[in-house]
A and B are shown apart, each in its own frame.
Chain A
Amino acid sequence: MYSSELIKGTLKTIILKLLSQNDKMYGYEITQKVKELTGGKIQLTEGALYPTLHAMEAQGILTTDVVNVGNRIRKYYSITQTGKKVASEKVNEFSEFIDTMIFLLDLKPKMG
Protein backbone atom coordinates (compact mmCIF):
# COMPACT_ATOMS: atom_id res chain seq x y z
CA MET A 1 0.00 0.00 0.00
CA TYR A 2 1.37 3.39 -0.99
CA SER A 3 1.74 6.22 1.50
CA SER A 4 -1.04 8.80 1.73
CA GLU A 5 1.51 11.48 0.83
CA LEU A 6 1.97 9.91 -2.61
CA ILE A 7 -1.74 9.38 -3.16
CA LYS A 8 -2.72 12.91 -2.09
CA GLY A 9 -1.29 14.59 -5.20
CA THR A 10 -3.00 12.18 -7.57
CA LEU A 11 -6.38 11.81 -5.87
CA LYS A 12 -8.16 14.23 -8.20
CA THR A 13 -6.66 12.54 -11.28
CA ILE A 14 -7.72 9.07 -10.08
CA ILE A 15 -11.31 10.13 -9.34
CA LEU A 16 -11.70 12.00 -12.64
CA LYS A 17 -10.25 9.17 -14.72
CA LEU A 18 -12.48 6.64 -12.99
CA LEU A 19 -15.59 8.77 -13.46
CA SER A 20 -14.82 9.39 -17.14
CA GLN A 21 -14.77 5.61 -17.65
CA ASN A 22 -17.93 4.98 -15.62
CA ASP A 23 -21.28 6.63 -16.03
CA LYS A 24 -21.88 7.44 -12.35
CA MET A 25 -20.37 6.27 -9.09
CA TYR A 26 -20.92 6.86 -5.37
CA GLY A 27 -18.21 7.45 -2.77
CA TYR A 28 -17.90 3.94 -1.35
CA GLU A 29 -17.97 2.50 -4.85
CA ILE A 30 -15.03 4.71 -5.89
CA THR A 31 -12.89 3.52 -2.95
CA GLN A 32 -13.74 -0.11 -3.65
CA LYS A 33 -13.08 0.21 -7.37
CA VAL A 34 -9.66 1.78 -6.82
CA LYS A 35 -8.81 -0.89 -4.27
CA GLU A 36 -9.88 -3.62 -6.68
CA LEU A 37 -8.06 -2.17 -9.73
CA THR A 38 -4.80 -1.69 -7.83
CA GLY A 39 -4.95 -4.93 -5.95
CA GLY A 40 -5.21 -3.03 -2.69
CA LYS A 41 -2.06 -1.01 -3.34
CA ILE A 42 -3.99 2.24 -3.44
CA GLN A 43 -6.63 2.72 -0.78
CA LEU A 44 -8.35 6.09 -0.89
CA THR A 45 -9.03 7.51 2.56
CA GLU A 46 -12.50 8.86 3.18
CA GLY A 47 -10.98 11.89 4.90
CA ALA A 48 -9.45 12.95 1.60
CA LEU A 49 -12.09 11.59 -0.80
CA TYR A 50 -15.19 13.49 0.34
CA PRO A 51 -13.63 16.96 0.64
CA THR A 52 -12.22 16.53 -2.89
CA LEU A 53 -15.58 15.30 -4.28
CA HIS A 54 -17.43 18.25 -2.71
CA ALA A 55 -14.86 20.75 -3.96
CA MET A 56 -15.00 19.36 -7.52
CA GLU A 57 -18.78 19.52 -7.41
CA ALA A 58 -18.59 23.19 -6.37
CA GLN A 59 -16.15 23.86 -9.20
CA GLY A 60 -18.53 22.38 -11.76
CA ILE A 61 -16.20 19.49 -12.63
CA LEU A 62 -18.68 16.93 -11.27
CA THR A 63 -22.45 16.80 -11.06
CA THR A 64 -24.46 14.79 -8.60
CA ASP A 65 -27.57 12.72 -8.63
CA VAL A 66 -29.34 11.85 -5.40
CA VAL A 67 -31.03 8.45 -5.11
CA ASN A 68 -32.94 6.94 -2.20
CA VAL A 69 -31.37 3.63 -1.25
CA GLY A 70 -33.59 1.86 1.25
CA ASN A 71 -33.77 4.22 4.15
CA ARG A 72 -30.89 6.56 3.31
CA ILE A 73 -29.74 8.85 0.56
CA ARG A 74 -26.96 8.00 -1.87
CA LYS A 75 -25.17 10.64 -3.90
CA TYR A 76 -23.95 9.52 -7.34
CA TYR A 77 -21.18 11.53 -8.96
CA SER A 78 -20.74 11.90 -12.70
CA ILE A 79 -18.27 13.93 -14.73
CA THR A 80 -19.26 17.08 -16.69
CA GLN A 81 -17.86 18.24 -20.06
CA THR A 82 -15.54 20.64 -18.23
CA GLY A 83 -14.57 17.76 -15.99
CA LYS A 84 -13.62 15.63 -18.99
CA LYS A 85 -11.22 18.33 -20.18
CA VAL A 86 -9.74 18.63 -16.69
CA ALA A 87 -9.43 14.83 -16.54
CA SER A 88 -7.41 14.63 -19.76
CA GLU A 89 -5.25 17.58 -18.69
CA LYS A 90 -4.59 15.93 -15.36
CA VAL A 91 -3.73 12.57 -16.92
CA ASN A 92 -1.35 14.21 -19.45
CA GLU A 93 0.27 16.26 -16.73
CA PHE A 94 0.76 13.18 -14.59
CA SER A 95 2.18 11.22 -17.53
CA GLU A 96 4.76 13.94 -18.13
CA PHE A 97 5.47 14.01 -14.42
CA ILE A 98 6.20 10.26 -14.46
CA ASP A 99 8.58 10.71 -17.42
CA THR A 100 10.38 13.47 -15.57
CA MET A 101 10.60 11.40 -12.41
CA ILE A 102 11.98 8.41 -14.34
CA PHE A 103 14.65 10.66 -15.78
CA LEU A 104 15.32 12.48 -12.53
CA LEU A 105 15.58 9.39 -10.36
CA ASP A 106 17.32 7.44 -13.11
CA LEU A 107 14.77 4.63 -13.04
CA LYS A 108 14.81 1.84 -15.61
CA PRO A 109 11.23 1.30 -16.71
CA LYS A 110 10.23 -2.36 -16.75
CA MET A 111 9.60 -3.27 -20.35
CA GLY A 112 6.89 -5.67 -21.50
Chain B
Amino acid sequence: MYVLKDEQIKFILEDIRRNGIESEELQLSLLDHICCVIETEMLAESHFEEFYRSILPRFFKRDLREIQEETNLLLTFKNYYAMKKIMLNSGMFSAITFIIGAVLKVMHLPGASVFILLGIVSFCFLFLPLLSILRVKEQKETKDKVVIGIATVFGILISLATLFKVMHWPFANIMWMVSLGILFFLFLPVYFFTGIRNAETKINTIISSILILTAGGLLFTLTNLRTSRWTDESFYNSDDHLRDAALYASEQNQIAFSKDTLSLEAKTLHEKANALCTQIETLKTGLIAYSSHGEEGLTEAQLIRNYGSSLNFASDFLFDHNGKARKDLAQIKLDLADFNKYRESTLKQKPSNLLSLEDVYKFGEKEQGKITWEENNFSHLSIATTLRNFNQLLLNIRLVEASAY
Protein backbone atom coordinates (compact mmCIF):
# COMPACT_ATOMS: atom_id res chain seq x y z
CA MET B 1 0.00 0.00 0.00
CA TYR B 2 1.23 3.44 -0.97
CA VAL B 3 1.59 5.86 1.93
CA LEU B 4 0.97 9.52 1.17
CA LYS B 5 3.44 12.11 2.37
CA ASP B 6 2.36 15.28 4.21
CA GLU B 7 3.17 17.56 1.29
CA GLN B 8 1.14 15.35 -1.05
CA ILE B 9 -1.88 15.58 1.28
CA LYS B 10 -1.38 19.33 1.43
CA PHE B 11 -1.20 19.43 -2.36
CA ILE B 12 -4.52 17.54 -2.71
CA LEU B 13 -6.25 19.77 -0.14
CA GLU B 14 -5.14 22.93 -1.90
CA ASP B 15 -6.19 21.54 -5.26
CA ILE B 16 -9.65 20.69 -3.89
CA ARG B 17 -9.97 24.22 -2.51
CA ARG B 18 -8.84 25.75 -5.79
CA ASN B 19 -11.45 23.76 -7.66
CA GLY B 20 -14.36 25.32 -5.82
CA ILE B 21 -14.94 23.19 -2.72
CA GLU B 22 -15.60 25.92 -0.17
CA SER B 23 -16.98 24.11 2.86
CA GLU B 24 -14.23 22.83 5.17
CA GLU B 25 -16.15 19.69 6.09
CA LEU B 26 -16.58 18.78 2.45
CA GLN B 27 -12.90 19.51 1.79
CA LEU B 28 -11.85 17.12 4.55
CA SER B 29 -14.30 14.41 3.47
CA LEU B 30 -13.11 14.55 -0.12
CA LEU B 31 -9.45 14.70 0.95
CA ASP B 32 -9.81 11.48 2.95
CA HIS B 33 -11.67 9.82 0.12
CA ILE B 34 -9.09 10.75 -2.51
CA CYS B 35 -6.28 9.68 -0.17
CA CYS B 36 -8.02 6.31 0.35
CA VAL B 37 -8.32 5.80 -3.40
CA ILE B 38 -4.67 6.68 -3.98
CA GLU B 39 -3.42 4.53 -1.13
CA THR B 40 -5.37 1.47 -2.28
CA GLU B 41 -5.07 1.80 -6.02
CA MET B 42 -1.76 3.53 -6.78
CA LEU B 43 1.23 1.37 -7.58
CA ALA B 44 4.52 2.21 -5.93
CA GLU B 45 6.19 3.05 -9.26
CA SER B 46 3.39 5.38 -10.44
CA HIS B 47 3.84 9.14 -10.50
CA PHE B 48 1.74 10.74 -7.72
CA GLU B 49 0.48 13.84 -9.52
CA GLU B 50 -0.31 11.97 -12.75
CA PHE B 51 -2.23 9.35 -10.82
CA TYR B 52 -4.08 12.01 -8.84
CA ARG B 53 -5.10 13.77 -12.08
CA SER B 54 -6.26 10.48 -13.57
CA ILE B 55 -8.61 9.55 -10.72
CA LEU B 56 -10.06 13.03 -10.16
CA PRO B 57 -12.63 12.87 -13.03
CA ARG B 58 -14.36 9.99 -11.17
CA PHE B 59 -15.68 12.59 -8.75
CA PHE B 60 -17.62 14.76 -11.21
CA LYS B 61 -19.22 15.08 -14.62
CA ARG B 62 -18.28 18.70 -15.38
CA ASP B 63 -15.96 19.89 -12.58
CA LEU B 64 -15.30 19.34 -8.89
CA ARG B 65 -17.33 22.42 -7.94
CA GLU B 66 -20.54 20.54 -8.71
CA ILE B 67 -20.16 18.53 -5.45
CA GLN B 68 -20.20 21.81 -3.52
CA GLU B 69 -23.18 23.06 -5.52
CA GLU B 70 -25.10 19.83 -4.98
CA THR B 71 -24.37 19.96 -1.22
CA ASN B 72 -25.56 23.57 -1.01
CA LEU B 73 -28.71 22.65 -2.87
CA LEU B 74 -29.48 19.75 -0.57
CA LEU B 75 -28.75 21.83 2.53
CA THR B 76 -31.02 24.66 1.42
CA PHE B 77 -33.62 22.09 0.46
CA LYS B 78 -33.93 21.31 4.14
CA ASN B 79 -34.58 25.01 4.87
CA TYR B 80 -36.92 25.07 1.89
CA TYR B 81 -39.52 22.97 3.70
CA ALA B 82 -39.21 24.98 6.91
CA MET B 83 -39.47 28.24 4.97
CA LYS B 84 -42.47 27.00 3.04
CA LYS B 85 -44.18 25.99 6.27
CA ILE B 86 -43.51 29.36 7.93
CA MET B 87 -44.65 31.13 4.75
CA LEU B 88 -47.96 29.28 4.62
CA ASN B 89 -48.61 29.68 8.36
CA SER B 90 -47.73 33.38 8.38
CA GLY B 91 -49.93 33.87 5.31
CA MET B 92 -52.88 32.20 7.06
CA PHE B 93 -52.17 34.17 10.24
CA SER B 94 -52.02 37.53 8.49
CA ALA B 95 -55.13 36.83 6.40
CA ILE B 96 -57.16 35.85 9.47
CA THR B 97 -55.95 38.68 11.72
CA PHE B 98 -56.42 41.22 8.92
CA ILE B 99 -60.00 40.08 8.24
CA ILE B 100 -60.84 40.17 11.97
CA GLY B 101 -59.25 43.64 12.22
CA ALA B 102 -61.16 44.91 9.19
CA VAL B 103 -64.49 43.60 10.51
CA LEU B 104 -63.83 45.15 13.96
CA LYS B 105 -62.91 48.43 12.30
CA VAL B 106 -66.07 48.52 10.18
CA MET B 107 -68.15 47.78 13.27
CA HIS B 108 -66.25 50.37 15.36
CA LEU B 109 -65.34 47.74 17.95
CA PRO B 110 -62.19 47.86 20.12
CA GLY B 111 -59.06 45.92 19.13
CA ALA B 112 -59.34 46.69 15.41
CA SER B 113 -55.98 48.47 15.25
CA VAL B 114 -54.11 45.63 17.00
CA PHE B 115 -55.45 43.00 14.58
CA ILE B 116 -54.84 45.13 11.50
CA LEU B 117 -51.31 45.92 12.71
CA LEU B 118 -50.51 42.24 13.36
CA GLY B 119 -52.02 41.18 10.04
CA ILE B 120 -50.18 43.69 7.88
CA VAL B 121 -46.85 43.44 9.72
CA SER B 122 -46.76 39.63 9.45
CA PHE B 123 -47.81 39.89 5.80
CA CYS B 124 -45.09 42.46 4.98
CA PHE B 125 -42.20 41.10 7.00
CA LEU B 126 -42.79 37.34 7.03
CA PHE B 127 -45.12 36.13 4.31
CA LEU B 128 -44.08 38.36 1.40
CA PRO B 129 -40.27 38.12 1.93
CA LEU B 130 -40.44 34.31 2.30
CA LEU B 131 -42.68 33.96 -0.73
CA SER B 132 -40.28 36.15 -2.68
CA ILE B 133 -37.17 34.17 -1.60
CA LEU B 134 -38.78 30.84 -2.46
CA ARG B 135 -40.02 32.07 -5.84
CA VAL B 136 -36.66 33.67 -6.68
CA LYS B 137 -34.93 30.34 -5.95
CA GLU B 138 -37.25 28.55 -8.34
CA GLN B 139 -36.47 30.96 -11.19
CA LYS B 140 -33.43 30.38 -13.37
CA GLU B 141 -33.29 33.64 -15.29
CA THR B 142 -32.15 36.88 -13.67
CA LYS B 143 -34.90 38.96 -15.29
CA ASP B 144 -37.59 36.78 -13.69
CA LYS B 145 -35.87 37.18 -10.31
CA VAL B 146 -35.86 40.97 -10.81
CA VAL B 147 -39.60 40.97 -11.60
CA ILE B 148 -40.33 39.05 -8.37
CA GLY B 149 -38.07 41.41 -6.38
CA ILE B 150 -39.85 44.52 -7.66
CA ALA B 151 -43.27 42.96 -7.08
CA THR B 152 -42.27 42.19 -3.47
CA VAL B 153 -41.11 45.75 -2.82
CA PHE B 154 -44.39 47.05 -4.28
CA GLY B 155 -46.44 44.61 -2.17
CA ILE B 156 -44.66 45.53 1.08
CA LEU B 157 -44.84 49.26 0.42
CA ILE B 158 -48.53 49.40 -0.53
CA SER B 159 -49.46 47.23 2.47
CA LEU B 160 -47.49 49.50 4.81
CA ALA B 161 -49.04 52.57 3.16
CA THR B 162 -52.49 51.10 3.87
CA LEU B 163 -51.49 50.41 7.48
CA PHE B 164 -50.14 53.96 7.92
CA LYS B 165 -53.29 55.39 6.33
CA VAL B 166 -55.60 53.38 8.60
CA MET B 167 -53.54 54.31 11.68
CA HIS B 168 -53.37 58.01 10.67
CA TRP B 169 -49.58 57.87 10.83
CA PRO B 170 -47.45 60.34 8.87
CA PHE B 171 -46.04 59.65 5.36
CA ALA B 172 -48.93 57.32 4.41
CA ASN B 173 -49.77 59.32 1.29
CA ILE B 174 -46.15 59.52 0.15
CA MET B 175 -45.74 55.74 0.60
CA TRP B 176 -48.99 55.15 -1.27
CA MET B 177 -47.93 57.30 -4.23
CA VAL B 178 -44.39 55.84 -4.29
CA SER B 179 -45.76 52.29 -4.35
CA LEU B 180 -48.18 53.12 -7.18
CA GLY B 181 -45.24 54.78 -8.98
CA ILE B 182 -43.22 51.55 -8.59
CA LEU B 183 -46.17 49.57 -9.97
CA PHE B 184 -46.76 51.73 -13.04
CA PHE B 185 -43.29 52.89 -13.96
CA LEU B 186 -41.07 50.01 -12.82
CA PHE B 187 -42.90 46.74 -12.29
CA LEU B 188 -45.32 46.93 -15.20
CA PRO B 189 -42.74 47.84 -17.91
CA VAL B 190 -40.22 45.25 -16.67
CA TYR B 191 -42.91 42.56 -16.36
CA PHE B 192 -44.44 43.38 -19.74
CA PHE B 193 -41.24 43.52 -21.77
CA THR B 194 -39.69 40.41 -20.23
CA GLY B 195 -42.87 38.37 -20.72
CA ILE B 196 -43.84 39.51 -24.19
CA ARG B 197 -40.58 38.41 -25.81
CA ASN B 198 -41.30 34.80 -25.00
CA ALA B 199 -43.85 33.25 -27.36
CA GLU B 200 -45.13 30.90 -24.63
CA THR B 201 -45.87 33.64 -22.11
CA LYS B 202 -46.90 36.37 -24.58
CA ILE B 203 -50.70 36.10 -24.27
CA ASN B 204 -50.63 35.59 -20.49
CA THR B 205 -48.32 38.59 -20.08
CA ILE B 206 -50.68 40.83 -22.07
CA ILE B 207 -53.73 39.70 -20.08
CA SER B 208 -51.94 40.00 -16.72
CA SER B 209 -50.57 43.43 -17.66
CA ILE B 210 -54.08 44.67 -18.48
CA LEU B 211 -55.35 43.30 -15.15
CA ILE B 212 -52.46 44.89 -13.22
CA LEU B 213 -53.00 48.20 -15.04
CA THR B 214 -56.73 48.14 -14.26
CA ALA B 215 -56.23 47.15 -10.60
CA GLY B 216 -53.51 49.82 -10.20
CA GLY B 217 -55.76 52.36 -11.93
CA LEU B 218 -58.59 51.54 -9.54
CA LEU B 219 -56.27 51.97 -6.54
CA PHE B 220 -55.11 55.29 -7.98
CA THR B 221 -58.73 56.42 -8.47
CA LEU B 222 -59.41 55.55 -4.84
CA THR B 223 -56.40 57.62 -3.77
CA ASN B 224 -58.02 60.58 -2.10
CA LEU B 225 -55.38 62.85 -0.73
CA ARG B 226 -57.94 65.48 0.33
CA THR B 227 -61.27 65.47 2.12
CA SER B 228 -64.27 65.67 -0.18
CA ARG B 229 -65.46 69.01 -1.57
CA TRP B 230 -68.72 68.55 0.32
CA THR B 231 -66.96 68.09 3.67
CA ASP B 232 -64.69 71.06 2.99
CA GLU B 233 -67.60 73.33 2.07
CA SER B 234 -69.68 72.41 5.13
CA PHE B 235 -66.63 73.09 7.31
CA TYR B 236 -66.07 76.49 5.64
CA ASN B 237 -69.75 77.38 6.03
CA SER B 238 -69.63 76.58 9.72
CA ASP B 239 -66.61 78.90 10.02
CA ASP B 240 -68.60 81.67 8.31
CA HIS B 241 -71.42 81.18 10.82
CA LEU B 242 -68.98 81.17 13.73
CA ARG B 243 -67.44 84.43 12.53
CA ASP B 244 -70.90 85.98 12.21
CA ALA B 245 -71.84 84.77 15.69
CA ALA B 246 -68.64 86.25 17.19
CA LEU B 247 -69.33 89.57 15.44
CA TYR B 248 -72.95 89.59 16.63
CA ALA B 249 -71.94 88.80 20.22
CA SER B 250 -69.35 91.55 20.08
CA GLU B 251 -71.93 94.10 18.85
CA GLN B 252 -74.42 93.06 21.55
CA ASN B 253 -71.76 93.40 24.25
CA GLN B 254 -70.77 96.88 23.04
CA ILE B 255 -74.40 97.94 23.51
CA ALA B 256 -74.84 96.17 26.84
CA PHE B 257 -71.64 97.53 28.40
CA SER B 258 -72.40 101.11 27.34
CA LYS B 259 -75.12 101.30 30.02
CA ASP B 260 -74.18 103.64 32.90
CA THR B 261 -75.66 101.31 35.52
CA LEU B 262 -72.77 98.87 35.19
CA SER B 263 -69.97 98.84 37.74
CA LEU B 264 -66.50 100.10 36.99
CA GLU B 265 -65.13 96.56 37.38
CA ALA B 266 -67.56 95.24 34.76
CA LYS B 267 -66.52 97.99 32.37
CA THR B 268 -62.87 97.19 32.98
CA LEU B 269 -63.58 93.58 32.04
CA HIS B 270 -65.27 94.80 28.87
CA GLU B 271 -62.18 96.84 27.99
CA LYS B 272 -59.97 93.84 28.62
CA ALA B 273 -62.23 91.77 26.34
CA ASN B 274 -62.07 94.40 23.62
CA ALA B 275 -58.29 94.58 23.85
CA LEU B 276 -58.02 90.79 23.65
CA CYS B 277 -60.31 90.59 20.61
CA THR B 278 -58.34 93.31 18.84
CA GLN B 279 -55.09 91.38 19.49
CA ILE B 280 -56.68 88.22 18.08
CA GLU B 281 -58.07 90.02 15.02
CA THR B 282 -54.64 91.55 14.34
CA LEU B 283 -52.99 88.13 14.59
CA LYS B 284 -55.64 86.67 12.27
CA THR B 285 -55.08 89.45 9.70
CA GLY B 286 -51.35 88.73 9.84
CA LEU B 287 -51.94 85.02 9.38
CA ILE B 288 -54.30 85.60 6.44
CA ALA B 289 -51.75 87.83 4.71
CA TYR B 290 -48.96 85.28 5.41
CA SER B 291 -50.97 82.38 3.97
CA SER B 292 -52.40 84.11 0.88
CA HIS B 293 -49.71 82.77 -1.46
CA GLY B 294 -48.95 86.34 -2.55
CA GLU B 295 -52.57 87.19 -3.47
CA GLU B 296 -53.37 90.59 -2.03
CA GLY B 297 -56.62 91.57 -0.34
CA LEU B 298 -58.02 88.07 0.20
CA THR B 299 -60.85 87.95 2.72
CA GLU B 300 -60.94 85.22 5.34
CA ALA B 301 -63.80 83.46 3.50
CA GLN B 302 -61.86 83.57 0.20
CA LEU B 303 -58.64 82.39 1.81
CA ILE B 304 -60.13 79.32 3.45
CA ARG B 305 -61.94 78.37 0.24
CA ASN B 306 -58.77 78.71 -1.86
CA TYR B 307 -56.08 77.52 0.55
CA GLY B 308 -58.05 76.25 3.57
CA SER B 309 -56.46 72.80 3.61
CA SER B 310 -52.86 74.08 3.42
CA LEU B 311 -50.81 72.85 6.32
CA ASN B 312 -47.70 74.37 7.91
CA PHE B 313 -48.54 78.04 7.21
CA ALA B 314 -50.37 78.52 10.50
CA SER B 315 -47.74 76.60 12.48
CA ASP B 316 -44.89 78.52 10.83
CA PHE B 317 -46.58 81.84 11.52
CA LEU B 318 -47.63 81.18 15.11
CA PHE B 319 -44.79 78.97 16.40
CA ASP B 320 -41.01 79.11 16.23
CA HIS B 321 -38.95 76.16 14.95
CA ASN B 322 -38.73 74.75 18.47
CA GLY B 323 -42.53 74.50 18.57
CA LYS B 324 -42.85 77.39 21.08
CA ALA B 325 -45.62 79.95 20.59
CA ARG B 326 -44.33 83.20 19.06
CA LYS B 327 -44.66 86.52 20.93
CA ASP B 328 -48.16 87.56 19.79
CA LEU B 329 -49.82 84.23 20.54
CA ALA B 330 -47.96 83.89 23.85
CA GLN B 331 -49.16 87.40 24.79
CA ILE B 332 -52.77 86.47 23.98
CA LYS B 333 -52.49 83.50 26.33
CA LEU B 334 -51.09 85.71 29.11
CA ASP B 335 -53.82 88.29 28.61
CA LEU B 336 -56.51 85.58 28.56
CA ALA B 337 -55.16 84.33 31.89
CA ASP B 338 -55.30 87.87 33.21
CA PHE B 339 -58.88 88.24 31.88
CA ASN B 340 -59.94 85.05 33.65
CA LYS B 341 -58.23 86.06 36.88
CA TYR B 342 -59.86 89.50 36.89
CA ARG B 343 -63.30 87.96 36.31
CA GLU B 344 -62.87 85.41 39.05
CA SER B 345 -61.16 87.55 41.73
CA THR B 346 -62.62 91.02 41.21
CA LEU B 347 -66.06 90.14 39.86
CA LYS B 348 -66.27 86.95 41.95
CA GLN B 349 -67.47 84.85 39.03
CA LYS B 350 -67.07 81.09 38.57
CA PRO B 351 -64.27 79.95 36.24
CA SER B 352 -65.60 79.16 32.76
CA ASN B 353 -64.67 76.09 30.70
CA LEU B 354 -65.04 78.22 27.59
CA LEU B 355 -61.76 79.98 28.31
CA SER B 356 -59.86 77.21 30.02
CA LEU B 357 -56.12 77.46 29.34
CA GLU B 358 -55.14 74.16 30.87
CA ASP B 359 -53.09 71.49 29.13
CA VAL B 360 -55.21 68.80 27.45
CA TYR B 361 -54.70 65.23 26.21
CA LYS B 362 -53.71 65.10 22.56
CA PHE B 363 -56.69 63.96 20.43
CA GLY B 364 -58.46 63.46 23.78
CA GLU B 365 -56.50 60.20 24.28
CA LYS B 366 -54.61 59.60 27.53
CA GLU B 367 -51.90 57.47 25.83
CA GLN B 368 -50.92 60.41 23.60
CA GLY B 369 -49.86 62.55 26.59
CA LYS B 370 -50.70 66.17 27.35
CA ILE B 371 -50.18 69.18 25.13
CA THR B 372 -50.54 72.90 25.84
CA TRP B 373 -53.58 75.05 25.06
CA GLU B 374 -51.81 76.81 22.19
CA GLU B 375 -50.55 73.53 20.66
CA ASN B 376 -54.02 72.01 20.90
CA ASN B 377 -55.74 74.93 19.19
CA PHE B 378 -53.22 76.29 16.72
CA SER B 379 -50.31 73.92 16.03
CA HIS B 380 -50.05 71.58 13.02
CA LEU B 381 -53.53 72.38 11.80
CA SER B 382 -54.80 73.56 8.43
CA ILE B 383 -55.37 77.29 7.83
CA ALA B 384 -59.13 76.74 7.92
CA THR B 385 -59.04 74.94 11.27
CA THR B 386 -56.65 77.48 12.83
CA LEU B 387 -58.83 80.42 11.77
CA ARG B 388 -61.96 78.59 12.94
CA ASN B 389 -60.35 78.07 16.37
CA PHE B 390 -59.52 81.79 16.55
CA ASN B 391 -63.16 82.62 15.70
CA GLN B 392 -64.36 80.20 18.36
CA LEU B 393 -62.05 81.93 20.85
CA LEU B 394 -63.46 85.35 19.88
CA LEU B 395 -67.02 84.10 20.39
CA ASN B 396 -66.11 82.45 23.72
CA ILE B 397 -64.51 85.66 25.03
CA ARG B 398 -67.70 87.56 24.18
CA LEU B 399 -69.91 84.91 25.81
CA VAL B 400 -67.87 84.87 29.01
CA GLU B 401 -67.71 88.66 29.03
CA ALA B 402 -71.53 88.81 28.78
CA SER B 403 -71.81 87.14 32.18
CA ALA B 404 -70.66 90.42 33.74
CA TYR B 405 -73.85 92.35 32.95
- Give chain A's interface residues, CB within 8 Å of chain B: 26-28, 31, 45-48, 50-55, 58-59, 69-75
- Give chain B's interface residues, CB within 8 Å of chain A: 3-4, 6, 9, 23, 25-26, 28-33, 35-37, 58-61, 66-67, 70-71, 73-75, 77-78
Q: Which residues of B contact A28 (CB under 8 A)?
A: 32-33, 36-37
A75 touches B26 (CB 8 A): no
Given the interface pairs A47-B59, A71-B6, the reply to whether A55 lies near B74 with Cβ below 8 Å is yes
A54 touches B33 (CB 8 A): no
User: In the complex, A110→B28 CA distance in Å?
Assistant: 44
Q: Which residues of B contact A46 (CB under 8 A)?
A: 30, 33, 58-59, 67
Most chain A C-beta atoms within 10 Å of own C-beta, residue among B23, B30, B73, B74: B74
B59 touches A58 (CB 8 A): no
Name 16 interchain pairs, CB-CB below 8 A, sorted by A: A28-B37, A31-B33, A48-B70, A50-B30, A50-B33, A50-B67, A51-B73, A55-B75, A55-B77, A55-B78, A59-B78, A70-B3, A71-B4, A72-B9, A72-B28, A75-B32
> Quick one: closest A residue to B31, CB to CB?
A72
> Quick one: closest B residue to A64, CB to CB?
B25
Most chain A C-beta atoms within 10 Å of own C-beta, residue among B3, B59, B71, B77: B71
Q: Which residues of A contact B78 (CB under 8 A)?
A: 55, 58-59
Most chain B C-beta atoms within 10 Å of own C-beta, residue among A31, A69, A70: A70
Expressed in whole angstroms, the minimum distance between the Cβ of A6 and any Cβ of chain B is 16
A27 touches B9 (CB 8 A): no
User: In the complex, A48→B61 CA distance in Å?
Assistant: 11
Most chain B C-beta atoms within 10 Å of own C-beta, residue among A26, A55, A69: A55
Given the interface pairs A58-B75, A58-B78, the reply to whether A74 lies near B70 with Cβ below 8 Å is no
A27 touches B33 (CB 8 A): yes
User: In the complex, A72→B75 CA distance in Å?
Assistant: 25
Expressed in whole angstroms, the minimum distance between the Cβ of B54 and any Cβ of chain A is 15
Q: Which residues of A contact B58 (CB under 8 A)?
A: 45-46
User: In the complex, A50→B28 CA distance in Å?
Assistant: 11
Expressed in whole angstroms, the minimum distance between the Cβ of B197 and any Cβ of chain A is 34
Question: Which of A45, A48, A52, A69 has a CB less than 8 Å from the CB of B32?
Answer: A69
Question: Which of B3, B6, B32, B77 has a CB less than 8 Å from the CB of A74?
Answer: B32
B25 touches A27 (CB 8 A): no
Q: Name the 3 nearest CB pairs between A and B, nearest first.
A: A55-B74, A28-B36, A51-B70
Given the interface pairs A71-B6, A72-B35, the reply to whether A27 lies near B29 with Cβ below 8 Å is yes
A50 touches B32 (CB 8 A): no
> Quick one: closest B residue to A59, CB to CB?
B78
A54 touches B30 (CB 8 A): no
Expressed in whole angstroms, the minimum distance between the Cβ of A63 and any Cβ of chain B is 13
Expressed in whole angstroms, the minimum distance between the Cβ of A66 and any Cβ of chain B is 8
Q: Which residues of B contact A58 (CB under 8 A)?
A: 75, 78
User: In the complex, A39→B173 CA distance in Å?
Assistant: 73
Q: Which residues of A contact B23 (CB under 8 A)?
A: 54
A47 touches B70 (CB 8 A): yes
User: In the complex, A47→B33 CA distance in Å?
Assistant: 12
A52 touches B74 (CB 8 A): yes
